[in-house]
Amino acid sequence: MGQRVYSSRLLGRDESLVFHGGGNTSVKISQKNIFGEDEALLYVKGSGWDLATIEAAGFSPCRMAHLLRLAGLAELSDLRMAAELKGCMTNPSAPAPSVEAILHAVLPARFVDHTHADAFISVTNTPGGAERVREVYGDRVVVVPYVMPGFKLARAFAELFPRESSARTIGVALLSHGLISFGDTAEESYVRMIELVAMAEEYLDRRKAWTVDWPAAAGRPRPIRAELAAFRRDLSAAMGAPAILRAQDDARSLGFIGRPDVGLISQQGPATPDHVIRTKRVPMIGRNLAAYRRDYEAYFGACEERSNPRPVALDPAPRVILDPEWGVVVVGRTARDASIAADLYRHTIDIIVRSTALGGWRALPAQDIFDCEYWDLEQAKLRRTGPAPAFAGEVALVTGAASGIGRACVDALLERGAAVVGLDVNADIARMLARPDFLGLPCDLTREADVAAALEAAARAFGGLDMLVLNAGIFPKGSPIGELGSDTWRTIMAVNLDANFVMLRECHPLLKVAPRGGRVVVIGSKNVPAPGPGAAAYSASKAAVNQLARVAALEWGADRIRINTLHPNMVFDTALWTREILESRARHYGMSVEAYRTNNVLRVEVTSRDVAALAAELCGPLFAKTTGAQIPVDGGNERVI
């Protein structure tokens, strides 16, 4: 199993072979059952696991005897097959086995590897692709005509492989689908896979169809964030839920869109059946959602007439948009979905261009694509889908996000399913989190050019903005008014007031087209209702921002934007409150540090996470009818009360 995990990861980390959950591997192992008898098991990659990071727990143990008996059946629906696969597992807590488990069981080798190598797909997805595959491999592989993944493919393979294989056979070519290699050891199977892929690459290279040179991408001519956000609103309406958009204007994207034949080669279908669900049937060219919907419904209707029972219709919204100015725009219900679609279509572009250079790109027929998109296993998954996270498909932006309350707000919004953009003057924000639903951008909020660039990057990364948390601010050393310097006053006002004014103004065009309405949370201060001596500049700046928020709530209500303010106090788990400062303040009041931490009416400690949780809730449905509110998060302050 250790070798199986190791070589699976080798395959999974090479994106030209496998990407984002695709591909499949297995190993046959003999283990003793509860009766002490040796039992042959197939450990096959389980549903939901990615080969690049798979662990032993990601493989599902299935009884070989049951799998081989299933392979001998004349008919079996895929839904019943999935039930049988789960039923023959020796560990019910393991993930659901791959639908290709039967196929792997039939292969007479201990290790089996299955990839969707770019080079192989480029060869097979052409007119005469089967002949080209035979020209590349000869008798090294058994060629299997395209069959829908699932039991039908396993059954066809079980009949064909014994008849067509020979002593020289090291793999299987599933036309328009992928490559399979096998061996008695993990190394043998892996090396054979690399050999088969290299043969396809060399074939393409000999015919000047391997190397793809893209012209250098020109500079971005103008900001597009407002247009992207408005388009996202309309697309979200077509999907029936908020969507994440990712705009890519790199050399590959713009070079592909700029091809004179893009209208032909982009409209034939996805590279493999595995791509259908993520990227849908074909990309939309341009921004005409109504035309795409009409085309999709006509396609759906024509294929549906031949389907029984009637499938659950998926939303008629594109997952890939080709726009000459925006570039390739990918769509997902979450940032992860959009990221996967982006990677898939990046590979698809290379495959299409190589196939075209080889002799012409040809995808699967429309009916086969329809059958994949409305596969009964996918339909069952749709029917089982539970409620999405509260902020799925929505985008939040947090200022001052690298630490303290800002960092806690990032975590709280991510936990609720939002894609989050974090801004901070600290450059470490760019490396704070490595995940597809977070974008950290270094940004000096006092520089309007930095703010504009950050909002443009946020819109290109996620499509728009739904929630804004204004948290960034500075708290200077205490100073009486008579000793407060003008430069200090202006610096505090620039960060705490002016920067928030600019953020509100620049974010308004994005917030007013948020699919569910825009939301703003201002992190204020106890000093607004109850200022203290020595904090004139800080108190005045926070009070001014509070008034700004109240006016914005009045002005923007018609735009479905709600704006509320939180007033925290004595939040000690921030960089501001060092141990030395805490001890000093506690001594000043004649208290222990522990007593000082809970020096409020409720005698509780207020943390960054407490403030962040309420900030996130203010953006949720519980406060859907609240705007202009000011809410303390301070454990109860006698002066405020």
Phi, psi of 41 (to 5 degrees): -125, 145
Half-sphere exposure of 38 (CA within 13 A, CB side): 3
Structure token digits, residue 142:
């058994």
Residue 313 main-chain phi, psi, to 5 deg: -70, 135
Instruction: Name the active-site residue from 296, 538, 589, 596.
Output: 538
Residue tagged 């008798």 (tokens): 139
Q: Which residue pairs, CB below 8 angstroms and at least 24 apart, start in 28-31?
A: 28/64, 28/105, 28/109, 28/110, 28/111, 29/1, 29/61, 31/61, 31/90
Tell me phi and psi for residue 469, to 5 degrees: -115, 110
C-alpha distances in Å from residue 218, one per residue of 214, 257, 259, 460: 12, 13, 15, 16
Q: Which among 80, 41, 44, 85 has a CA at the least distance from the CA of 63?
A: 41
CA neighbor of 173 nearest in space, from 116, 222, 252: 116
Instruction: Give, as one character, the DSSP assignment of residue 495.
Output: I
| Cα 504 from Cα 549, distance rounded (Å) | 9
Question: How long a stretch of residues is the chain?
Answer: 641
Q: For residue 286, how many other CB atoms are within 10 A of its CB?
A: 12
Residue 182 β-bridge partners: 112
| SS3 (DSSP) at 612 | helix
Q: Tell me which amino acid residue 338 is.
A: A
- Is 190 known to be catalytic? no
Asked if residues 88 and 123 have their Cβ atoms less than 8 Å apart, the reply is: no
Handedness of CA 441, 446, 447, 453 (dihedral sign): positive
Which H helix or E strand runs over 469? strand 467-470
CB 466 within 8 A of CB 242: yes
Token pair of 223 as six digits: 């900001």
How many whole angstroms from its chain centre is CA 641?
A: 45
Active site residues: 538
